[in-house]
């Protein structure tokens, strides 16, 4: 019996790291984002979906170039002067053209969750990779003489790092004009609502397409409850898949915010309780 203990005393030291996060903060398998990060990083179904969406975007771009009165921007509704303006496409950055799932994976491994400090550090690392299809689409748009504009809620302090990241990956970034519009870059651009920045683009360009992963990339999200979002999305039915092109983002977004009433600081147990209460179960 004594020999048994002599030989097996070390087992807890071998297995403990396998069941705890790198810093031991949380057991593995309990993170809210595990499946969604793995879906983005490993599922051929995600890759194929993103490629399919950008293939659709390319067809819509060709269609839009044929029709001088085509505009994707609500800010250009009811005013045909935009027909004289040069064409542009407006793309969101995160999870639309840049894939930050490695940052999300880091959060899982560290047993922590999103916070602005670790996010700003990640932006400065310039390690984001391209969303499948985004590079080909933006290059195609640029080759057709369409200005490519990146409208992002990344903070203005990360604009240069974002520009470096995009350029290094081969995304078209026009240096003659500021085509990366960050949050807080101007006094009137401090809010996450992208409407004032879309208006700014709409003053100089005919906006052919809006491309993003979040409702706010297309319209003001004033009605941000679950039912408000549903009603709002229904109102814009003619835009989806035609002038508004949506990428899937299972990692985060206002879809998740709506589930937890935007209380991102709540304890995990409270967030999970809220999420469970939203399940639509049939018995």
State in angstroms the smallest separation of the CB of 6 from Mg ion: 56
The least CB distance from residue 98 to Mg ion, in Å, is 9
Are the C-beta atoms of 201 and 92 separated by less than 8 Å? Answer: no
Tell me how many helices (H) and strands (E) the chain has. Answer: 12, 7
256 lies in the binding site for Mg ion (CB under 5 A): no
Query: Residue with structure tokens 């401090």?
Result: 190
Distance of closest approach, residue 210 Cβ to Mg ion, in angstroms: 12
Closest CB 133 distance from Mg ion, rounded Å: 15
Distance CA 275, CA 253 (A): 14
Q: Which one of the spans 74-82, 85-93, 189-197, 226-234 is the region binding Mg ion (CB under 5 A)? A: 85-93
Structure tokens at 190: 């401090």
Of 70, 75, 94, 219, the residue at the interface with Mg ion (CB under 5 A) is 94
Q: Can you tell me which of 75, 95, 126, 185 binds Mg ion, judged by CB under 5 A?
A: 95
We find the least distance from the C-beta atom of residue 49 to Mg ion, in angstroms, to be 16
**Pair 256, 249: CB distance under 8 Å:** no
Closest distance to Mg ion from the beta carbon of 239 (Å): 18
For residue 20, give the 3-state DSSP assignment. Answer: strand
Of the candidate spans 15-23, 41-49, 50-58, 86-94, the one that interacts with Mg ion by CB under 5 A turns out to be: 86-94
Residue pair 79/203 in contact by the 8 Å Cβ criterion: no
CA separation for the pair 140, 154 (Å, rounded): 25
Q: 41-80 mask for Mg ion (x: CB under 5 A)?
A: ----------------------------------------
- Residue 137's contacts (CB-CB under 8 Å, 6 or more residues apart) are 54, 57, 58, 61
Q: Which of 54, 91, 92, 150 binds Mg ion (CB under 5 A)?
A: 92
Nearest to 272 by CA among 31, 38, 40, 23: 31
Q: What is the distance between the terminal CA atoms of the chain, rounded to a whole angstrom? A: 52
The interface with Mg ion within residues 210-239 (CB under 5 A) comprises 213
Nearest residue to the partner Mg ion, using Cβ: 94
- Site residues (vs Mg ion, CB under 5 A): 92, 94-96, 213
């Amino acid at each position: 019996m004594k020999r048994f203990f002599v030989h097996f005393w070390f087992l807890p030291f071998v297995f403990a790291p396998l069941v705890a996060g790198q810093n031991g903060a949380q057991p593995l398998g309990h993170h809210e984002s595990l499946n969604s990060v793995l879906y983005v990083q490993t599922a051929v179904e995600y890759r194929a979906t993103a490629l399919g969406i950008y293939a659709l975007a390319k067809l819509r771009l060709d269609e839009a170039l044929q029709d001088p009165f085509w505009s994707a921007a609500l800010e250009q509704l009811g005013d045909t002067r935009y027909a004289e303006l040069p064409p542009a496409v407006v793309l969101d950055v995160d999870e639309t053209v840049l894939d930050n799932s490695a940052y999300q994976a880091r959060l899982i491994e560290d047993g922590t969750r999103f916070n602005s400090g670790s996010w700003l550090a990640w932006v400065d690392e310039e390690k984001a990779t391209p969303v499948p299809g985004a590079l080909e689409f933006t290059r195609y748009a640029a080759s057709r003489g369409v200005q490519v504009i990146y409208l992002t809620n990344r903070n203005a302090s990360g604009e240069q790092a974002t520009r470096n990241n995009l350029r290094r990956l081969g995304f078209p970034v026009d240096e003659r004009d500021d085509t990366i519009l960050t949050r807080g870059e101007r006094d009137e651009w401090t809010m996450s609502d992208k409407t004032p920045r879309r208006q700014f683009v709409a003053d100089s360009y005919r906006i052919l397409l809006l491309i993003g992963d979040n409702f706010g990339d297309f319209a003001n999200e004033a009605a941000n409850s679950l039912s408000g979002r549903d009603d709002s999305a229904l109102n814009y039915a003619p835009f989806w898949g035609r002038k508004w092109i949506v990428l899937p983002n299972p990692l985060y977004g206002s879809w998740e915010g709506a589930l937890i009433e935007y209380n991102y600081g709540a304890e995990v147990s409270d967030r999970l309780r809220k999420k469970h209460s939203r399940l639509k179960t049939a018995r």
